[in-house]
A and B are shown apart, each in its own frame.
Chain A
């Protein structure tokens, strides 16, 4: 199957504007401007059933439709803060196929009437970001950004922005605060960014990969797009495969493929190295609960893991073989969340710190049965009560491993 997102793997130098245009680049933008009104573009994206690829899976067309109509200050913000453990898909797009992201963002800007696009990249993407900025400059030189894009009435600017390296800035309101030069902390919604976002103006925040899906949808139509995938998860998805796997890397799949195929097919992961047994995998980095062998035949889709109590999220699949100590794994992940909690709301700030302390104690053999109870209880007391979703993610390392591997915890409890 030909790539839809990772097209650079088939076409050399796709990051260059002329090469991108030789292969149909910016024709989708041209088509959107020439053939559709902004409202029609939103309708097409709605009909394609494209959902956010950052992990939450919110319908993209619906998000765009929340933006108030008519002229005015509005913003498109590309969320390239990619910071989830084991996630490395957006960076590949930004580095090797930047124009597809820019084109998608421009179509979004056209659809909602936004005169300005920002690409918010995590600070560590500095080098990739410089390449991306070159792509922006190419667009300006070619009349694809700035005044009267492609000779139309549509004008739009774009600039790149680098965060200082904070996981929380992947949360849309924290991202917007950071973009405004404020401390990277989320705000309590409402107000939602679609009404009061960047500089208190209507703002769309879309994941990088999400926007890369937009040009092919406009080119080929919604029907083409919905022909791929499962009932609730349409289209292609980049899966980041890492951990104990023979062939780690990004894979573009059509949603609905099973985890088993992803891990063991020669075309994809190629199995577990060194003949070890599969123990579990994290389907969405640290923020989704671990799944075990019984879930391997579940489809990779937004809804596929519902019955297994987990989520696909950003599809950052981290594979763990039989040698992995699950308490150690939980401790490492919890340390990450403790480190990345912004500290704004009480349960997350205090709870992640507390869980991190308890996990260290248990891992080091100093924990008691009571510590284990407190650990579970702390996790349960954070869930559903925090200001943003980070708190809900932060409890999954504990709840997931306790659920499937409680024996490993008990084995470490001080006798």
Chain B
């Protein structure tokens, strides 16, 4: 018998569940429904709503001998206590008997429903939750059918209370279950909403300024068991039963957050189907059932009125609408004509299919390796391919005895999902070590926090790795102690980012951390072991895919080295400027708007493939309108190297085409053969070329497994309105270390020299302006404004004050910034947020 399992009987059915399981969850496992309102499987139980009251009997024992007392028929005597007990707070025990269908249980359910309805408004016909409402469903299932409440006695409350600009509260509908309050406190540690007052006047209020100030606020609308919390996005937008759920992925999340887009055909959009809302899709390996507000509300760019809809060619200096054939012919002709001086720059938000087709066009069609990400920030994709987080890993499994290292990254701003999962691992007992230039929101949960001085990131990490090499019993300092914990941990996950680092430095960083993972402790290295490995904190949702697909001057698809390396992004920009390049093809990126490329330099031909007329597109000779991710299907690969599918949600806008198709149609004109008929077929082709993707296809990516907790469908009362994953959990590809011996990486010496006494580092903000987010009006107020963070003494020296505004000159551009002196910046370092990324440390001057 397994000691960790407990046997109990629920409604006559015997069930074995792990020790510590709550009665409601045990029942759920055998599909016995114990209805709940306040209980949620991801939250600590509170036993408030009383809906889950059931009969719970425990076997009686003789007080002297401890022997079980038996009835006349030989069955154990049971003690059912004095009354019903809340199934959500009682944990299972051996021999327990639970009855959920008896008269007293039925009565209490009916009564709790009656009580709730006694003050709940009858506005289901206009309520956003109507149709997927736990209160509505449970009323139909367990309610009395007739009301004893005289309608005139009902209490009336405010119906439109904005808690913040994203979330509205209907005080009348609230049933005071505290799920939202508990979510904010227990899960995401933003306790910005609270109960106020008492009794029937108990109400939810926000304690923050601005109201409901949290990156996670939208999740409360999913778990609200009534229509009390609604988002300003979906409020009065549609009835749930009119919506078509389409499984998708966040177009921003490098962790690969799974979402569902609810779409509806609308007369006001000319019969087009439009995205009405985004809700989480369960993937316990990725985002569980949570998504950040950015991932939830950003979709509006897909329907933005200024989307490009037709190909444009510059004629007489003006961009003029033309046919696809005309545009594609011209592009093919120009690229071929300049094939010795051609380059391609891509964004990393596009799908694997797009990126593969793009590099295929360059390598096979044009014979060029001049390929890179327009904004390449973070190196180490090749290192990750060797020692990345092993396939089959789940950050949820990290806990006591494990360790997580985070270097040069502010996870809360860069990828909230990873921040959440690291925080939770730390709360489960994992040792968290954080190395950064400055304080971040992860420090609070860390066991060790190290701050390195500007320019000393690499030297500090090297010290840490060297310390880990030395067997020690008595740690001489904190760094040695941390290193010792890391090397001795059962599992070790290392996140690394790019804050304040150059591309070359991030390469060194990745290799140093790889060597840490490859270090052997008692003949065992972490690399290649399940729940251990390296995770790059990629800047975009598919940066990993860009590496995998070969958007790299030296590495073709599948990390295969090319014979002669092409130009990297920096060299390409240089060549654009000095005439070394004649033609440039930019796909899904805005190097001009991002300040990477001041103008089109000496280019003869510039083609830009985009959703919007970006600063780069405005300078182009040809502009090709691409479909957004919502208009077609494809795959993204997360930083944990999980390849996942997204599906088409809405019909294509205007004449827009998928990026992969455009690239392939250009290729067709370069005698590369017919384009694939569908993304799925292109994926099948690329899976033959990319060894890591071998065996994957759209069917294997769509495989699902039962996940706990059960959510979706009729279980809205239990898990909330997040969607059950029926469309695929994705597949993690195996890092080399899982199967092969991987040798230590050669790491070059040398650390950055700091050239200025107050260097400037760009830091991330969740709502940093960008091509997608700039076209999402509902997040406009949240867009991070350019802000210069200074240490108090530094601010004083250069004569700036908190709250003031100034203009600075940085990287040759002048920029209006707000000044912030609130303790975020360490002494001797200036931080700049709300601006496009720039590498490493910059000098700046006040204009």
Contact = CB atoms under 8 A, between A and B. Distances in A.
Interface in A332-363: 338-347, 349-354, 357-358, 361
Interface stretch (B114-122, B338-346, B614-622): B114-122
Contact of A188 (B46, B108, B176, B199): B46
B47 A188 contact: yes
A371 B149 CA distance: 9
Nearest to B150: A371
A346 B175 contact: yes
B199 A377 contact: no
Interface stretch (A28-36, A133-141, A193-201, A380-388): A380-388
| Interface of chain B: mostly helix, strand, loop or mixed | loop
A350 B118 contact: yes
Interface in B328-363: none
B155 A353 contact: yes
A183 B46 CA distance: 14
A166 B198 contact: yes
Given A350-B115, A377-B148, A384-B83, A340 B50 contact: no
Interface centre among A185, A349, A381 (most CB of B within 10 A): A349
B186 to A, nearest CB: 14
A201 B46 CA distance: 19
A184 B201 CA distance: 14
Contacts of A343: 176, 195, 197-202
Interface in A121-175: 166, 168
Given A347-B111, A377-B148, A340 B47 contact: no
B111 to A, nearest CB: 4
Contacts of B155: 353
B112 A338 contact: no
Interface in B141-177: 148-150, 153, 155, 175-176
B785 interface: no
Contacts of B842: none
B48 to A, nearest CB: 5
B84 interface: yes
A273 to B, nearest CB: 35
B206 to A, nearest CB: 15
Contacts of A66: none
A118 interface: no
B21 interface: no
Nearest to A190: B89
B115 A338 contact: no
Given A346-B49, A347-B111, A341 B198 contact: yes
B200 A350 contact: yes
B53 interface: yes
Interface in B389-441: none
Contacts of B253: none
A385 B195 contact: no
A340 B48 CA distance: 17
A358 B153 contact: yes
B86 interface: yes
A346 B148 contact: no
B347 to A, nearest CB: 48
A328 interface: no
Nearest to B90: A190
A381 B82 CA distance: 16
A376 to B, nearest CB: 11
Nearest to A384: B83
B199 A346 contact: no
A187 interface: yes
B194 interface: yes
A374 interface: yes
Nearest to B107: A381
A350 B111 CA distance: 11
Nearest to B196: A183
B115 A351 contact: yes
Contact of A385 (B111, B150, B198, B201): B111
A384 B82 CA distance: 9
B830 to A, nearest CB: 38
Contacts of B46: 187-188
Contacts of A374: 148
B112 A346 contact: yes
B199 A387 contact: no
B202 A346 contact: no
A358 B153 CA distance: 8
Interface in B100-116: 108, 111-112, 114-116
B267 to A, nearest CB: 41
Contacts of B197: 343
Contacts of B108: 385
A341 B119 CA distance: 15
B152 to A, nearest CB: 9
B195 A183 contact: yes
Contacts of B48: 188, 344-346, 387
Interface centre among A339, A345, A352 (most CB of B within 10 A): A345
Interface centre among A342, A344, A377, A386 (most CB of B within 10 A): A344
Given A354-B149, A387-B48, A340 B199 contact: yes
Interface in B178-209: 194-195, 197-202
Nearest to A352: B199
A347 B50 contact: yes
B86 A188 contact: yes
Contact of B200 (A338, A358, A386): A338
Nearest to B194: A183
Contact of A353 (B49, B89, B119): B119
B520 to A, nearest CB: 41
A184 B202 CA distance: 12
Nearest to A337: B199
A387 B50 contact: yes
Interface string A397-409: 0000000000000
14 contacts: A188-B45, A188-B46, A340-B198, A342-B198, A343-B199, A343-B200, A347-B112, A349-B115, A350-B115, A353-B199, A354-B118, A357-B153, A378-B148, A385-B84
8 smallest CB-CB distances across A and B, nearest first, come from A343-B202, A188-B47, A350-B115, A341-B199, A381-B111, A353-B200, A357-B153, A384-B83
Given A341-B200, A357-B153, 4 more contacts: A339-B199, A353-B200, A378-B148, A387-B47
